[in-house]
Structure 1
Amino acid sequence: MTVQLVLPRAIVEKMGTVLARAGRREIGGVLMARQREPGAFEIVEFSVDELSGQRAHFVRDHAYHNKFLGAFFDKTGHDYQNFNYIGEWHSHPELPILPSVTDIESMEGLVNGERDIPFAVLLVVRADSPNEFVAVATFHQRGTVPEPALLDIENIHVS
């Protein structure tokens, strides 16, 4: 199954802002999406933990992100058919944007673990300068090998 992840311009600009504030520290969070059609998901919101990241390591604070998830589902009327968790994101400032072995193992633990999450996307991003935004996404599904996700960055113009 090929999965497409759509990043609207407003999401890219918002990510660019938080990435600039973080500087050389890794940051990240969860990605929330709406399904446009089977296999195509548009990111509509994301959480960001700007405090716990280090130079080359990020582990999200579960309590913070659980509050974010609760607020998101309240805002969308708990319409899980249209709006739901799609995965995780984090930055790799001044590093390759390919997922690390730790990143892959973490995502595989998520979809093959006890949380009943059948699939998820990992988005790794970098914006080391005001005009840069590069990203790569991988699709992780229970019982299968991770594969690249198609990434559609709509109307990109980061200033």
Structure 2
Amino acid sequence: MRVEISNSVRDKLRKALRTAGSREIGGVLMGEQVAPGHFKVVDLSIDSQTGGRAHFVRDSEAHAEALAAFFRETGHQYDRFNYLGEWHSHPRFSVTPSTQDVKSMNDLVEGERGIDFAVLLIVRLQWWRWISCSCTLFCRNAKPVPVDLLEEQR
């Protein structure tokens, strides 16, 4: 799997990370399937209220509203535009998923929601400008695997 992050999403992330400073923030990733196995993050929700210095748990209701708006804007074309996964920041730690991150994502894809796969994007702002990140794919009945991250082609 390959995941591309649009420049507008990178800009949105950079601004939110600057504002949050040393607090963890996060949300959901909304994507477009560009080709089989190739997805582009075209939007994301931002929960800047519930994070702490070393922990983030998103508020489900706020992100459900963001997803509903995304689906309306994309004409409910679920086969092309859909929920892609979760994201959060690690401003004080490595962008490697923590044990709790892995458990939460496994619970998500192994749960009863019918989500077969989801990606976890972990981001960190360095020198107030550059975004360092990792992306991991979680699939039902499989071990997590790293995902290739692509820059949007201009």
TM-score, length-scaled by structure 2: 0.96
One-letter identity of the residue aligned with 1:71: A
Q: Specify which of 55, 74, 81 is matched with residue 79 of structure 2.
A: 81
Could you list the runs of 5+ residues in structure 2 that have no partner in the other structure? Answer: none
Is residue 94–residue 128 contact of structure 1 (8 Å, CA) maintained in 2?
no
Cross-structure match for 2:141: 143
Alpha-carbon distance in 1 for matches of 2:153, 2:14: 14
Q: Which residue of 1 aligns with 2:62?
A: 64
Distance 1:113 1:59 in 2: 17
Q: Which deviations, in whole Å up to 9, do the C-alpha atoms of 1:56-107 show, x marking residues without a partner?
A: 1000001111111111111111111110001000000021000000000000
Distance 2:36 2:134 in 1: 20
Say whether 1:15 aligns with 2:13. yes
The size of the alignment, in residue pairs, is 154
Does the CA-based 8 Å contact 1:4-1:149 persist in structure 2? yes
What is the aligned partner in structure 1 of residue 37 from structure 2?
A: 39
Match of 2:22 in 1: 24
- Please provide the CA RMSD for this pair: 1.2
2:109 corresponds to: 111
Q: Equivalents in 2 of 1:130, 1:154: separation in Å?
A: 21
**C-alpha distance in 1 between matches for 2:151 and 2:12:** 13
Q: Does the 8 Å CA contact 2:2/2:149 hold for their aligned counterparts?
A: yes
**Matched residues, percent identical?**
45
Q: TM-score, normalised by structure 1?
A: 0.93
